[in-house]
């Protein structure tokens, strides 16, 4: 039995679907029955509840040989780090009590930083919580910046003809497609060939700056002149709060951007074949463009 948390999200859905396609028994966790239904249709057992709830996690992890663990974002919480610790604690106590032998934990590049890296320092806490578990084999996948983060700019690009964030335009960032993370996670879950506690960085196909990413997206959507604008941290926090994020989450994300800009959040490993993954930013831009055009089409037809 495999258990997949965040099973309706970027990485979890691909992990769950791949395991199901290989005929494995899979339990999927989410908050919403409807969102899990397509996985149930493919043979998964659904557990509906919160990953912050330790008794639900104990129920979910019973009899599992391996768990794919991640801390889903919670944009509304008044204390993001406390929330991340709550989820980490629910996972570690359930893993211990259920006697789960293998865990693949989604973490982040920079999770060696106990302070000053926003949500990434919360993932440091979660790694530490899991590392308290003796006799459990755990890999922390320290993934780079998700290419899918660029999807948060869809409205900005459409409405203002710019892309922007507080990140430096010229900063090389290891950007990764979430499906590549899922592929590595699934391989590890299937092979269970890791032991003890280890970290593994996943750095995407190449490092790419926001200026270059914006140029590639601009080309893919037919806006060759699309420019990248670096916002101030304050501006970005105000925008995030206007979009409904709590003040603490906005502050935390801004702290992470600062840590990236100051190159405190950066890979610890040299780039190698082992931490490089196949999907290029150009490939991601094609799927970004399909979503962008789909939304334009829907707008034009009033759907």
Ligand X SMILES: NC(=O)c1ccc[n+]([C@@H]2O[C@H](COP(=O)([O-])OP(=O)(O)OC[C@H]3O[C@@H](n4cnc5c(N)ncnc54)[C@H](OP(=O)(O)O)[C@@H]3O)[C@@H](O)[C@H]2O)c1
Using CB under 6 A as the binding rule, whether residue 106 contacts ligand X is answered as yes
| H or E stretch at 98 | helix 80-98
Closest distance of CB 13 from ligand X, Å: 8
Secondary structure (3-state) at 8: coil
Beta strands in 5-158 (DSSP E): 26-30, 45-48, 66-69, 102-108, 137-143, 145-146
Please give the Cα distance from 93 to 62 (Å, whole number).
Answer: 12
Using CB under 6 A as the binding rule, whether residue 166 contacts ligand X is answered as no
Residue 174 sits at φ, ψ, to 5 deg, of: -70, 105
Using CB under 6 A as the binding rule, whether residue 30 contacts ligand X is answered as yes
Closest distance of CB 230 from ligand X, Å: 18
Place of tokens 């309706």: 8
Tokens of 7: 């099973």
CB 222 within 8 A of CB 243: no
Piece of the chain touching ligand X by CB under 6 A; list 30-38, 57-65, 189-197, 288-296: 30-38
Binding string, 42-71, against ligand X, x = CB under 6 A?
Answer: --------xxx-----------------xx
- Please select the residue that binds ligand X; options are 2, 3, 4, 6, rule is CB under 6 A: 6
Binding string, 73-92, against ligand X, x = CB under 6 A?
Answer: x-------------------
| CB-nearer residue toward ligand X: 59 or 223 | 59
Please give the Cα distance from 286 to 46 (Å, whole number).
Answer: 32
Length of the chain in residues, anyone?
303
Contact positions vs ligand X (CB under 6 A): 6, 8-12, 29-32, 35, 50-52, 70-73, 106, 108, 119, 123, 143, 145-146, 149, 178
């Amino acid at each position: 039995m495999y258990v997949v948390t965040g099973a309706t999200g970027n990485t979890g859905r691909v992990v769950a679907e791949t395991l199901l396609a290989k005929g494995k028994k899979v339990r999927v966790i989410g908050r919403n029955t409807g969102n899990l239904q397509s996985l149930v249709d493919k043979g998964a057992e659904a557990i509906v509840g919160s990953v912050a709830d330790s008794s639900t996690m104990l129920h979910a992890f019973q009899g599992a040989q391996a768990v794919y663990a991640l801390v889903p974002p919670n944009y509304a919480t008044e204390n993001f780090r406390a929330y991340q610790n709550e989820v980490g604690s629910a996972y570690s106590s359930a893993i211990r009590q259920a006697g789960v032998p293998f865990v693949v934990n989604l973490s982040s590049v920079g999770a060696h930083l106990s302070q000053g890296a926003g949500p990434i320092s919360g993932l440091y806490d979660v790694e530490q919580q899991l590392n308290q578990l003796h006799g459990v084999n755990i890999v922390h996948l320290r993934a780079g910046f998700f290419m899918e983060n660029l999807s948060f700019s869809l409205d900005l690009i459409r409405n203002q003809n710019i892309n922007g964030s507080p990140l430096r335009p010229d900063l090389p960032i290891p950007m990764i497609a979430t499906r590549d993370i899922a592929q590595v996670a699934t391989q590890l879950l299937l092979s269970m060939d890791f032991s003890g506690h280890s970290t593994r960085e996943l750095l995407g196909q190449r490092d790419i700056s926001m200026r270059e990413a914006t140029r590639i997206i601009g080309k893919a959507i037919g806006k060759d002149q699309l420019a990248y604008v670096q916002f101030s941290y304050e501006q970005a926090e105000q925008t995030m709060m206007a979009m409904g994020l709590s003040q603490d989450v906005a502050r935390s994300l801004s702290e992470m951007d600062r840590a990236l800009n100051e190159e405190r959040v950066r890979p610890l490993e040299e780039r190698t074949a082992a931490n490089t993954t196949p999907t290029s930013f150009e490939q991601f831009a094609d799927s970004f463009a399909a979503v962008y055009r789909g939304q334009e089409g829907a707008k034009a037809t009033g759907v």
